[in-house]
Structure 1
Amino acid sequence: PAAKAPILEVCQTPARLGELPLLTSWATDGGAFVTLPLVYTEHPDGRGHNLGMYRIQRYDDRTTGIHWQIHKGGGYHYHAAESRNESLPMTLFIGGPPALMLAAIAPLPENIPELMLASLLLGEKLPITRDPAGGHALVAHAEFAAKGFVPPHMRRPEGPFGDHYGYNSLTHDYPVFHIERLYHRRDAIYPATVVGRPRQEDFYIGDYLQDLLSPLFPLVMNGVRQLKTFGETGFHCLAAAKVTNRYPREAFASGLRILGEGQLSLTKFLILTDGEIEVTDFKKLWVHVLERINWQTDLFVFANVSQDTLDYTGPSVNNGSKAMMMGLGKEPRRILPESFHGDLPQGCGRAEIFLPGTLVVQGEGFAAQQDLPARLAHCPALADWQVVVLVDDARAATENLQEFLWTVFTRFEPAADIHAAATELRRFHPTLTPPIIFDCRLKPWYPEVLEVDEKTRRMVDEKISEILPSRYR
């Protein structure tokens, strides 16, 4: 009942959002952000709701930015309302049952209600209550609920923001949320998280959700036996799947199914295998695929397609390319080299073997040596290598698996940064001759890598020394 719902204990009209302890996580951030926002909207036609975690930048006590990227359910609702020149009612929940946060992040198909998933996770119906002032119902046990609207055709600069890819996403214009009233519990607790270079808290939440939803993948996508997206790359940059290949190239159809499914359609690099191997083990998977891939037929690059908003490797925001790489069959085609001897072209430094068949080479910066990938591809000493990864710092990129995945897959765009010793167009398909070069150097148009500023580092070190005994530091 509304009278007993904790969320209705206090109502601020007008709202005073400035009293909430929003975080400014990085010195380069454009302001303070709600980092665990639960944004609720409904389709203007009444065709379902969306609960999503879209970042919220506070402008003042009663307005915020709302970061609706491409392929987001709330953004579709806003597009429908804006096309009618109407405002979209919106409720911003903060806190409440953790199941709400999981449901908001879960990559559900567009028309599957997130509140239903939250109820399933809770094991009971999510308690909701009527808003005495009208509009959306309220989550009864949320800590805060800001009610308001997003007007059509209004934009304000939002960002920059240190995002979960590990870079400073740039400032862009986004819609504006106008808050009319703010409900909260009498002794509300404000939850927050720090967003930044993997691994952060969202990495573990994402992994848990994949484990939770994994039984659904074969049901929703026939032929997909196992699916993994890699949080080390921000999730959208890299995915792998174990698929069936009962007839020639069935694996390709399964790959297209993945690239056409909800938020999985934002995947930039997809690896497919039909082998009896766990795709969660990247090292074993990568070697297995390199042993079997036919570079004449098994690498597909799709240029001029959409790309995740936070991925700046493409030619412009939301635009880029995708690649699908297949390693099929029981028997390997080749034995992969595990040692390197020979001279590298001018402009290259150290070379590190990360995995059999994969050599990581340090090169001069992209701006000074744009032709370096082509020279590497024709280097005789590399003729036996399947993949050569060109990076700015080979030692850092090969320090561990996490550094390798983050460096490689967040810093290259398939259509622009894959090179080969020879490329020939056959039947409208580019056939490649190895070595295949991935140019994973930072490019001049990429945003800056997130780094802790020294002032903040010193402050934290001093406070830690005051709070924690030395044996715990």
Structure 2
Amino acid sequence: MTFPDLQSFVRLLEQRGELVRVSIPVDRDLEITEIADRMVKRGGPALLFENVKGSDFPLAIGLLGTRERMALALGVNDLDDLAAKVRRLMDLKMGGGLGGLLSNVPKLREVASLPPKRVRKAAVQEVVWRGDEVDLSKIPVLKCWPLDGGPFVTLPLVITKDPVTGEKNMGMYRMQVMGPRETGMHWQRHKTGARHLENAAKLGQKLEVAVALGGDPALIYAATAPLPPVPGLNEYALAGYLRGQRYPVARGVTVDLEVPANAEFVLEGYVDPGEEWKPEGPFGDHTGFYTLEDLYPRFHVTAVTMRRNAIYPATIVGRPPMEDAYLIEASERLFLPAAQLILPEIVDYHMPPAGVAHNLVVVSIKKHFPGQAYKVANGLLGLGQMMFAKVIVVVDEDVKVTDFERVWREVARKAVPERDTLLTRGPTDVLDHSSRSWSFGGKLVIDATTKLPEERGEAVTSREGASFEKGEDVFGAASSTDLPLADGVIAQRQTTDGYWIAAVRKTRPHQTAVIGEKFARSNVASGIRHLLLVDDATDVNDMQDVWWTIFNNIDPERDVRVVNGVLIWDGTRKLREEGFMREWPEKIVMDSAVVAKVDARWHLYGLPEKLEKSVHGASDEALTEPSQVGVLTS
């Protein structure tokens, strides 16, 4: 069996009607982003731009932009099959004598297929640029959004080796092109690449780096997967396991690192820990906001290897849903069995697009005892990258975690503010612009499970005889349509299930605190469990837009509070006068001239006419769950 690569995947998608070639000249500066953004938000086909201005290389984007294409890339019929595959691997039984051992032979063969296989001849080394031949501007790297600091490589597989332990790592870290032979290296403090650089600094040596572009789509996924620290388990091993054969690798031509032999490009070079770091950014990130400029290490490219007819792979991140929603969903399915092994009461979990990965985690459980929801939430916060979770909502086992509306109805019906909410602190993603301080902030746990008598404060004569409360917490429906004393409220809406949403034009410090206090103590609040305060750029009629804004703009410990039985969420911009001392970023919005340009040229691209209009208004249709339509680079 020939190992899959990017080009074979492109051909497969084209055969299945899942890829469209765009032959007219297009601009790598914003135009491709606007086209690709419309496609992914409506579940459209992948795109192969054959004529990118200023480059001889075609560009592929959106290859993993639907749930079906993501499953196809990983060699399964459906993403749920990943969980079953991992369960089979975890079910090795070493008892039962010789017969028991022989029954495991197929599984042991799968395990044995994990290590990569070194090959002498690599397609990615058919063409080699060295030294002054290297010019990254020849590769069609995208400038994705108007305020970006420059063009960014958005789908890089960054390969390093710890100079002390020999540990190998592959991660996906965005790379801003800063010159013909130089990029930034966005290694955040929690990333393995940053630890490798620290160890190189202790030894007083440069850190060799290789950056692969392309390869097997399963390897592209693996570079984003939150792998546990298990000896021998790395990204090549995961891709090999998914394919059932060892991944082909070759030694770099100028670095002592294993690179994917079937990649499209490999950038080789080094990062010098002794160099002064360089400003990198801004960058329109997967949160839907810009990550602001900051200092990061520099990657010096000494050689570029490639196929003779290489395709440059790219993705865009930004306001959800984007292509990374399906990468996240694949990780959910792949690591569900491992989470259940540690926390067996977990039925399922989901990170909805509105939560852009870590901002919201919904988990359903089989509940047997009081406090179990908090036990599970605290357990999740201790599992790898789940430590970055900002809001965890725990629901009963019969609630489908991907049913966004049902989840929030359960919250309103079964979670009494303060009684069933818990605030705590912990690590946050460094991209979280609203946390109390960089990479550290508040967290919120909401217990939306059916309550046991102990949890309701009822007397229980026998714990063995305690049973679930069969009824549900009831709240009345508010009757007024006006937010009382609503200074600065430009739009508002109440729902039938206990939520009041208000968009506020904020002009002074503590304005929203006053609004929340007055609302919670008014008669209108008698039928409301949650007051959601958002900025004036948010559509109060679009709950995906509302929750996306809320999750991005809150530090739960500071911005979520209970007043008179109402849980108030302040999802507005925070001001310096309110004690927030960092700069607040802008939401990502495409330049109107580019939108108009794409509108005018749409008939030339050869793409479906029904996608002609821009979807930047973020309608409900554009923000549906990934399982119905179509977060990564950081």
TM-score normalised to the size of structure 2? 0.68
Tell me how far apart the structure 2 counterparts of residues 395 and 71 of structure 1 sit (CA, whole Å): 32
Is 1:162 paired with 2:284? yes
Superposed displacement of residue 201, structure 1: 1.4
**Counterpart pick for 2:546 among 404, 407, 410:** 404
1:78-119 deviation line (CA, Å, top 9, x unaligned): 233334443222111101110111101112224441211111
- Residue 66 and residue 247 in structure 1: after superposition, are their counterparts in 2 closer, same or farther (change >3 A)? same
Identity level (%): 31
**Counterpart pick for 2:558 among 399, 416, 420:** 416
Is 1:175 paired with 2:297? yes
Is 1:319 paired with 2:450? no
Tell me how far apart the structure 1 counterparts of residues 348 and 250 of structure 2 sit (CA, whole Å): 39
- Residue 202 and residue 395 in structure 1: after superposition, are their counterparts in 2 closer, same or farther (change >3 A)? closer
Secondary structure of the 2:313 match is coil
The answer to whether the Cα contact below 8 Å between 2:255 and 2:269 also exists between their aligned partners in 1 is: no
Tell me how far apart the structure 1 counterparts of residues 313 and 337 of structure 2 sit (CA, whole Å): 30
Alignment-derived partner of residue 41 in structure 1: 160
Is 1:65 paired with 2:184? yes
Superposed displacement of residue 220, structure 1: 4.1
Superposed displacement of residue 355, structure 1: 5.3
Alignment-derived partner of residue 465 in structure 1: 603
The answer to which of 326-335 and 62-71 deviates more is: 326-335
The answer to which of 204-213 and 232-241 deviates more is: 204-213
The answer to whether the Cα contact below 8 Å between 1:229 and 1:235 also exists between their aligned partners in 2 is: yes
The answer to which of 225-234 and 40-49 deviates more is: 40-49
Is 1:286 paired with 2:408? yes
The answer to whether the Cα contact below 8 Å between 1:287 and 1:355 also exists between their aligned partners in 2 is: no
Segments of structure 1 that go 5 or more residues without pairing to the other structure are 422-432
**Counterpart pick for 1:238 among 337, 344, 360:** 360
1:13 maps to amino acid: R
Secondary structure of the 2:503 match is strand
- Residue 97 and residue 470 in structure 1: after superposition, are their counterparts in 2 closer, same or farther (change >3 A)? closer
Tell me how far apart the structure 2 counterparts of residues 25 and 43 of structure 1 sit (CA, whole Å): 32
Is 1:254 paired with 2:376? yes
Tell me how far apart the structure 1 counterparts of residues 515 and 607 of structure 2 sit (CA, whole Å): 51
Q: How many residues align?
A: 460
Tell me how far apart the structure 1 counterparts of residues 437 and 213 of structure 2 sit (CA, whole Å): 33
Tell me how far apart the structure 1 counterparts of residues 491 and 150 of structure 2 sit (CA, whole Å): 40
Tell me how far apart the structure 2 counterparts of residues 85 and 227 of structure 1 sit (CA, whole Å): 44
Is 1:88 paired with 2:203? no
The answer to whether the Cα contact below 8 Å between 1:313 and 1:413 also exists between their aligned partners in 2 is: yes
1:355-387 deviation line (CA, Å, top 9, x unaligned): 501111233316362432222222231133111
Secondary structure of the 1:26 match is coil
1:104-138 deviation line (CA, Å, top 9, x unaligned): 11122244412111112223211112234450022
The answer to whether the Cα contact below 8 Å between 2:478 and 2:525 also exists between their aligned partners in 1 is: no
The answer to which of 16-25 and 217-226 deviates more is: 217-226
Is 1:455 paired with 2:576? no
Q: Which structure has the larger Rg over C-alpha atoms?
A: 2
Secondary structure of the 2:565 match is strand
Tell me how far apart the structure 2 counterparts of residues 438 and 392 of structure 1 sit (CA, whole Å): 12
Superposed displacement of residue 296, structure 1: 3.9
Is 1:147 paired with 2:268? yes
2:308 maps to amino acid: R
Tell me how far apart the structure 2 counterparts of residues 332 and 101 of structure 1 sit (CA, whole Å): 48
- Residue 87 and residue 245 in structure 1: after superposition, are their counterparts in 2 closer, same or farther (change >3 A)? farther
Tell me how far apart the structure 2 counterparts of residues 395 and 144 of structure 1 sit (CA, whole Å): 41
**Counterpart pick for 2:225 among 106, 110, 119:** 106
- Residue 470 and residue 406 in structure 1: after superposition, are their counterparts in 2 closer, same or farther (change >3 A)? closer
The answer to whether the Cα contact below 8 Å between 1:244 and 1:251 also exists between their aligned partners in 2 is: no
Superposed displacement of residue 452, structure 1: 0.8
The answer to which of 223-232 and 264-273 deviates more is: 223-232
Alignment-derived partner of residue 33 in structure 2: none
Tell me how far apart the structure 1 counterparts of residues 308 and 204 of structure 2 sit (CA, whole Å): 37
- Residue 349 and residue 455 in structure 1: after superposition, are their counterparts in 2 closer, same or farther (change >3 A)? closer
The answer to which of 182-191 and 451-460 deviates more is: 451-460
- Residue 22 and residue 469 in structure 1: after superposition, are their counterparts in 2 closer, same or farther (change >3 A)? closer
Tell me how far apart the structure 1 counterparts of residues 123 and 323 of structure 2 sit (CA, whole Å): 27
- Residue 85 and residue 224 in structure 1: after superposition, are their counterparts in 2 closer, same or farther (change >3 A)? farther
Q: What aligned pairs does 1:426-445 form with structure 2 within 5 A after superposition?
A: 433-444=564-575, 445=583
By relative contact order (CA 8 Å, sep 6+), the higher-ranking structure is 2
The answer to whether the Cα contact below 8 Å between 2:136 and 2:179 also exists between their aligned partners in 1 is: yes
